[in-house]
Structure 1
Amino acid sequence: MLPKIIIHNVVSLNGSLTGFDPNIEKYYEIAGSYKHDAVLVGSNTAKAGLKMFYEKIPPENKSDLEKPIVKSDDKTPFWIIPDSRGILQNKLHVIRQSGYCKDIIVLISKKTPTTYIKYLKERNYDYILTGKDHVDYKQALEKIYNGYNVRAIRMDSGGTLNSILLSQGLVDKISILLSPIIVGKSNTNLIKSLNKTSEKSKIDLELIKNKIVDKDHVLLVYKVKK
Structure 2
Amino acid sequence: MIPKLIIHNSISLDGSTTGFEANLDVHYKLLSGYQPDAIIVGSNTARTGTQFFCEIIPPEEELDFKKPEIQPDDPRAYWLIADSRGILEGLMHVFRRSEYSKDVIVLVSEKTPEGYINYLKERNYDFIRTGADRVNIRHALEVANERYGFELVVSDSGGVLNSILLEHGLVEEISLIITPEIAGRNGTNLFRTLEKSGTRLELLKNQIVEKQYVHLVYQVLKE
How far apart, in 1, do the equivalents of 2:52 and 2:127 lie? Answer: 26
Deviation at residue 71 of structure 1 after TM alignment: 1.4
How far apart, in 1, do the equivalents of 2:86 and 2:49 lie? Answer: 16
1:100-139 C-alpha deviation (Å, 9 max, x unpaired): 1111110000110111001001000000110011000111
Q: Where in structure 1 are there 5+ consecutive unaligned residues? A: none
Deviation at residue 52 of structure 1 after TM alignment: 4.5
1:28-78 C-alpha deviation (Å, 9 max, x unpaired): 111121121011111111100113443431111011111111112222110
The count of corresponding residues between Structure 1 and Structure 2 is: 222
For structure 1, which segment, 105-114 or 51-60, has the greater mean C-alpha deviation from structure 2 after superposition? 51-60
Question: Where in structure 2 are the equivalents of 1:67-78 lying within 5 Å?
Answer: 67-78=67-78
Deviation at residue 202 of structure 1 after TM alignment: 2.5
- The answer to whether residue 62 in structure 2 is matched with residue 62 in structure 1 is yes
What stretches of structure 1 move > 2 A for 4+ residues in a row? Answer: 51-56
How far apart, in 2, do the equivalents of 1:219 and 1:78 lie? Answer: 24
Q: Where in structure 2 are there 5+ consecutive unaligned residues? A: none
- The answer to whether residue 30 in structure 2 is matched with residue 34 in structure 1 is no
Partner in structure 2 of residue 147 of structure 1: 147
How far apart, in 1, do the equivalents of 2:139 and 2:195 lie? Answer: 19
How far apart, in 2, do the equivalents of 1:18 and 1:9 lie? Answer: 11
For structure 1, which segment, 26-35 or 89-98, has the greater mean C-alpha deviation from structure 2 after superposition? 26-35
TM-score normalised by the chain length of structure 2: 0.96
Counterpart secondary structure, 2:121: helix
1:81-103 C-alpha deviation (Å, 9 max, x unpaired): 00000010011011101121111
1:7-42 C-alpha deviation (Å, 9 max, x unpaired): 111111100111111122111111121121011111
How far apart, in 2, do the equivalents of 1:224 and 1:21 lie? Answer: 27
Counterpart secondary structure, 1:102: strand
Partner in structure 2 of residue 164 of structure 1: 164
- The answer to whether residue 209 in structure 2 is matched with residue 209 in structure 1 is no
How far apart, in 1, do the equivalents of 2:23 and 2:71 lie? Answer: 32
The answer on whether the counterparts of 1:194 and 1:202 sit within 8 Å (CA) in structure 2 is no
